[in-house]
Structure 1
Amino acid sequence: MSKNTRLVYSTDQGRVKEATAEKAVDSGDGIVRLLRETKGRKGKGVTLITGLGLKEAELKALAKKLKQQCGVGGAIKDGVIEIQTDDREKLKALLEKQGLSVKIAGG
């Protein structure tokens, strides 16, 4: 079998699933940045939290905690947490309680 093909089904083994590799974590420079973005959201602002350097499970737990404490929604996209609020000062205080170095970036 060549390297360019992959086994999807075999009668002797059944379905074969390939192991999924965990995504690489971007550690950044150790500073968590809070960015405000309205692009593509009809003028509604969201705060993007970048530079966390956490694994997927830790990122989900942190996002859930931040959303609950702010009383808003949000999502995780490509290792970046999106929180549906413009209140970056509150997010900064919450992240600093976690022991992270936080910087408000952008205007």
Structure 2
Amino acid sequence: MSKNKKQSYEGVVYSTDDSYNYQLADSFQELETLPVNQQNLKVQLDRKMRKGKVVTLITGFVGQIEDLEALGKLLKQKCGVGGQLKMGRL
């Protein structure tokens, strides 16, 4: 078994109730994508836990994953950089 395997339950450490249903951490509702003029995106420079290297984080996107991936691809093309898309962040 892998050492990096994490418990995927959210909010509960242990329950003695036999009928308790655990909620998986990966389960979330996709929201309808807001129009461009209503998106409240925040651009931040961050260097925490990156050995002093600076990265740019873009947070605050509300919408479907497909739209987030399209926005990330467009930003990477326009800026001429690589990057990684993580859930909830570009």
Distance 1:69 1:30, change over 3 A: closer
Q: What is the CA RMSD across the aligned residues, in angstroms? A: 2.8
Q: CA deviation at 1:22?
A: 6.2
Alignment of 1:67 with 2:76, yes or no, is: yes
> Hey, what does 2:5 align to over in structure 1?
none
Aligned pairs (5 A) from 1:39-78: 39-78=48-87
Equivalent-residue separation in structure 1 for 2:48 and 2:71 (angstroms) = 24
Q: CA deviation at 1:77?
A: 1.4
Equivalent-residue separation in structure 1 for 2:69 and 2:84 (angstroms) = 9
Q: CA deviation at 1:24?
A: 3.3
Q: CA deviation at 1:61?
A: 0.7
Distance 1:30 1:60, change over 3 A: closer
Which structure has more strand as a fraction of its residues?
1
Equivalent-residue separation in structure 2 for 1:31 and 1:22 (angstroms) = 20
- Highest CA radius of gyration, 1 or 2? 1
Q: CA deviation at 1:30?
A: 4.4
Question: Residue by residue, what CA displacement relative to the aligned partner does 1:62-101 show, whole Å, maximum 9, x if unpaired?
Answer: 10110111111111112111xxxxxxxxxxxxxxxxxxxx
8 Å CA contact retained: 2:40, 2:60: yes
> Hey, what does 1:91 align to over in structure 2?
none
In structure 2, stretches of 5+ residues that fail to align are: 1-18, 21-26
- After superposing on structure 2, the runs of 4+ consecutive aligned residues of structure 1 that deviate more than 4 Å are none
